[in-house]
Copies of this chain bind each other. A is one copy, B any other.
Amino acid sequence: MILVVHAHPYPRRSRANRALVDAVREMPTVEVRSLYDLYPGFDIDTAAEQRALEEAKLVVLLHPLYWYTTPALLKHWFDVVLVKGWAFGDGGTALEGKDCLWAVTTGGDEQAFGAEGRHHLPLAAFAPVVEQTMRFCGMRWQEPFVVHGAHLIPDAEMQAAATRFRARLQELSV
Protein backbone atom coordinates (compact mmCIF):
# COMPACT_ATOMS: atom_id res chain seq x y z
CA MET A 1 0.00 0.00 0.00
CA ILE A 2 1.03 3.54 -0.79
CA LEU A 3 -0.31 6.27 1.47
CA VAL A 4 -0.36 9.77 0.01
CA VAL A 5 -0.72 12.33 2.78
CA HIS A 6 -1.84 15.39 0.89
CA ALA A 7 -1.87 18.86 2.41
CA HIS A 8 -2.98 21.82 0.32
CA PRO A 9 -4.65 24.64 2.30
CA TYR A 10 -6.82 25.54 -0.71
CA PRO A 11 -7.30 22.24 -2.59
CA ARG A 12 -9.72 23.83 -5.03
CA ARG A 13 -7.20 26.50 -6.01
CA SER A 14 -4.39 24.03 -6.47
CA ARG A 15 -2.88 23.38 -9.88
CA ALA A 16 0.31 21.36 -9.45
CA ASN A 17 -0.82 19.40 -6.41
CA ARG A 18 -4.11 18.54 -8.10
CA ALA A 19 -2.34 17.28 -11.22
CA LEU A 20 -0.08 15.10 -9.08
CA VAL A 21 -2.92 13.71 -6.96
CA ASP A 22 -5.04 13.02 -10.04
CA ALA A 23 -2.18 11.10 -11.62
CA VAL A 24 -1.98 8.57 -8.79
CA ARG A 25 -5.43 8.56 -7.16
CA GLU A 26 -6.71 5.67 -9.28
CA MET A 27 -3.70 3.43 -8.78
CA PRO A 28 -5.10 0.31 -7.10
CA THR A 29 -2.58 0.37 -4.25
CA VAL A 30 -2.85 4.08 -3.45
CA GLU A 31 -4.80 5.71 -0.64
CA VAL A 32 -4.95 9.50 -0.73
CA ARG A 33 -5.73 11.33 2.49
CA SER A 34 -6.26 15.04 1.89
CA LEU A 35 -5.75 16.59 5.29
CA TYR A 36 -7.39 19.97 4.65
CA ASP A 37 -10.52 18.18 3.38
CA LEU A 38 -10.58 15.72 6.28
CA TYR A 39 -9.73 18.15 9.04
CA PRO A 40 -10.63 21.75 8.13
CA GLY A 41 -10.83 22.52 11.86
CA PHE A 42 -7.40 20.99 12.60
CA ASP A 43 -9.08 18.22 14.67
CA ILE A 44 -6.91 15.39 13.40
CA ASP A 45 -8.06 11.84 14.19
CA THR A 46 -4.77 10.44 15.41
CA ALA A 47 -5.95 6.81 15.53
CA ALA A 48 -7.27 6.89 11.96
CA GLU A 49 -4.05 8.44 10.69
CA GLN A 50 -1.94 5.88 12.53
CA ARG A 51 -4.01 3.01 11.10
CA ALA A 52 -3.51 4.32 7.57
CA LEU A 53 0.23 4.63 8.17
CA GLU A 54 0.48 1.12 9.59
CA GLU A 55 -0.93 -0.34 6.37
CA ALA A 56 1.48 1.56 4.13
CA LYS A 57 4.81 0.42 2.84
CA LEU A 58 5.49 3.79 1.21
CA VAL A 59 4.40 7.10 2.72
CA VAL A 60 4.25 10.09 0.37
CA LEU A 61 4.06 13.59 1.83
CA LEU A 62 2.59 15.76 -0.94
CA HIS A 63 2.17 19.51 -0.47
CA PRO A 64 3.05 22.93 -1.79
CA LEU A 65 5.93 24.60 0.01
CA TYR A 66 4.43 27.09 2.46
CA TRP A 67 6.90 29.37 4.17
CA TYR A 68 9.73 27.00 3.32
CA THR A 69 8.18 23.88 4.83
CA THR A 70 4.86 22.03 5.16
CA PRO A 71 1.52 23.85 5.47
CA ALA A 72 0.49 24.11 9.12
CA LEU A 73 -1.97 21.22 9.10
CA LEU A 74 0.72 18.77 7.98
CA LYS A 75 2.96 20.13 10.72
CA HIS A 76 0.10 19.53 13.15
CA TRP A 77 -0.14 15.99 11.76
CA PHE A 78 3.56 15.50 12.63
CA ASP A 79 2.92 16.89 16.13
CA VAL A 80 -0.12 14.72 16.99
CA VAL A 81 0.30 11.56 14.89
CA LEU A 82 4.04 10.88 15.16
CA VAL A 83 4.00 10.45 18.91
CA LYS A 84 6.33 8.86 21.43
CA GLY A 85 5.70 5.19 22.05
CA TRP A 86 4.24 4.78 18.59
CA ALA A 87 6.59 6.51 16.12
CA PHE A 88 9.71 6.71 18.29
CA GLY A 89 10.97 6.04 21.80
CA ASP A 90 10.23 2.85 23.76
CA GLY A 91 8.00 0.62 21.66
CA GLY A 92 7.73 3.29 18.99
CA THR A 93 8.49 1.24 15.91
CA ALA A 94 5.33 1.65 13.81
CA LEU A 95 7.09 3.41 10.95
CA GLU A 96 10.42 1.60 11.09
CA GLY A 97 11.71 0.57 7.68
CA LYS A 98 8.90 2.14 5.65
CA ASP A 99 9.90 4.33 2.73
CA CYS A 100 9.13 8.04 2.73
CA LEU A 101 8.90 10.25 -0.35
CA TRP A 102 8.69 14.01 0.02
CA ALA A 103 6.78 15.41 -2.97
CA VAL A 104 6.85 19.16 -2.89
CA THR A 105 5.77 21.88 -5.29
CA THR A 106 6.92 25.48 -5.30
CA GLY A 107 5.20 28.48 -6.85
CA GLY A 108 8.26 30.21 -8.21
CA ASP A 109 10.96 28.99 -10.53
CA GLU A 110 14.04 27.11 -9.41
CA GLN A 111 16.25 30.20 -9.81
CA ALA A 112 14.38 31.79 -6.89
CA PHE A 113 16.11 29.18 -4.71
CA GLY A 114 19.68 30.28 -5.10
CA ALA A 115 22.17 32.80 -3.80
CA GLU A 116 20.88 35.37 -6.29
CA GLY A 117 17.23 34.43 -5.97
CA ARG A 118 14.64 35.89 -3.64
CA HIS A 119 14.75 32.85 -1.32
CA HIS A 120 18.56 33.05 -1.09
CA LEU A 121 19.02 29.35 -0.38
CA PRO A 122 18.55 26.15 -2.39
CA LEU A 123 15.45 24.11 -1.58
CA ALA A 124 17.76 21.50 -0.04
CA ALA A 125 18.59 23.95 2.75
CA PHE A 126 14.97 23.73 3.93
CA ALA A 127 14.71 19.93 3.70
CA PRO A 128 16.24 18.89 7.06
CA VAL A 129 13.09 19.71 9.07
CA VAL A 130 10.95 17.19 7.20
CA GLU A 131 13.73 14.74 6.42
CA GLN A 132 15.01 14.41 9.97
CA THR A 133 11.44 14.10 11.32
CA MET A 134 10.91 11.07 9.13
CA ARG A 135 14.35 9.61 9.74
CA PHE A 136 13.88 9.98 13.50
CA CYS A 137 10.86 7.69 13.11
CA GLY A 138 13.03 5.08 11.39
CA MET A 139 11.76 5.74 7.89
CA ARG A 140 13.89 5.36 4.79
CA TRP A 141 14.15 8.77 3.17
CA GLN A 142 13.99 8.74 -0.61
CA GLU A 143 15.26 11.37 -3.04
CA PRO A 144 12.54 14.07 -2.92
CA PHE A 145 10.21 14.66 -5.88
CA VAL A 146 10.17 18.37 -6.63
CA VAL A 147 8.11 20.44 -9.07
CA HIS A 148 9.14 24.08 -9.31
CA GLY A 149 7.09 26.75 -11.02
CA ALA A 150 3.68 25.35 -10.10
CA HIS A 151 2.07 28.61 -11.22
CA LEU A 152 4.34 29.12 -14.24
CA ILE A 153 5.01 25.99 -16.22
CA PRO A 154 2.86 25.14 -19.28
CA ASP A 155 0.18 22.44 -19.04
CA ALA A 156 2.22 19.94 -21.03
CA GLU A 157 5.13 20.28 -18.64
CA MET A 158 2.80 19.91 -15.67
CA GLN A 159 1.35 16.75 -17.19
CA ALA A 160 4.84 15.37 -17.79
CA ALA A 161 5.65 15.99 -14.12
CA ALA A 162 2.46 14.15 -13.12
CA THR A 163 3.45 11.19 -15.28
CA ARG A 164 6.90 11.14 -13.70
CA PHE A 165 5.28 11.24 -10.26
CA ARG A 166 3.13 8.22 -11.04
CA ALA A 167 6.15 6.33 -12.38
CA ARG A 168 8.13 7.19 -9.26
CA LEU A 169 5.42 5.78 -7.01
CA GLN A 170 5.23 2.62 -9.08
CA GLU A 171 8.99 2.22 -8.94
CA LEU A 172 9.11 2.71 -5.19
CA SER A 173 6.27 0.29 -4.51
CA VAL A 174 7.83 -2.78 -6.10
Q: List chain A positions with a Cβ less than 8 A from chain B.
A: 9, 41-42, 66-73, 75-76, 78-79, 82, 118-121, 125-126, 128-129, 132-133, 135-136
Contact = CB atoms under 8 A, between A and B. Distances in A.
Contacts of A119: 132, 136
A126 B132 contact: yes
A136 B72 CA distance: 18
Contacts of A41: 41-42
A147 to B, nearest CB: 19
Contacts of A121: 128, 132
A17 to B, nearest CB: 15
Contacts of A9: 79
Given A132-B121, A132-B126, A136-B119, A72 B69 contact: no
A95 to B, nearest CB: 13
B68 A72 contact: no
Contacts of A120: 132, 135
B67 A78 contact: yes
B68 A128 contact: yes
Contacts of A82: 67
Most buried by B among A76, A135, A136: A76
A54 B79 CA distance: 30
Contacts of A71: 75, 79
A39 to B, nearest CB: 10
A133 B79 contact: no
Contact of A69 (B42, B76, B118, B129): B129
